[in-house]
Amino acid sequence: MKKIDSGESIRDYSIDWDRIKIESLDVMKLAKAGVIVPEEAIYYDDDDIESDEDFEGDWVKIDYDPIEELKMKTEVEIVLNRDIKQWIDSKNIKLDKLIENLLNNFHKTQKIVSKE
């Protein structure tokens, strides 16, 4: 876990799932690093689990793989003028959603224009 926490690659390592148990919180770290932990290798300590009313009730299976969805994301760094940055902050604009929508609409427009 030290390598994952420090951002080092674990690509050349293997795990013998028959001999090791992983704490549930560490499973999330491994998942972020692209490691899928089999259910039987996960250790749960009920004393570490807090009740949360948002998670009570019936659980429903989702129709997508959140790990695959993360792989589809692209991270971009942009430089904004100070006044634009202040405007975005003052309007509580979700910049990632704005850019995503702009690109989707631009792509749709380009497809329509290219057909003509």
pLDDT recorded at residue 84: 94
Q: What is the mean pLDDT of residues 63-73?
A: 77
Alpha carbons 50 and 25: distance in angstroms, whole number: 13
- Its pTM stands at 0.39
Q: Are 33 and 12 in contact (CB under 8 A)?
A: no
Q: Give me 11's structure tokens.
A: 């690509």
- Whether the per-residue pLDDT at 15 is higher than 80: the answer is no
Model confidence band, residue 91 (pLDDT cutoffs 50, 70, 90): very high
Select from 21, 5, 4, 22 the least CA-distant residue to 13: 4
pLDDT recorded at residue 95: 92
**Average per-residue pLDDT for the chain:** 82
pLDDT recorded at residue 1: 65
Select from 2, 47, 3 the least CA-distant residue to 24: 47
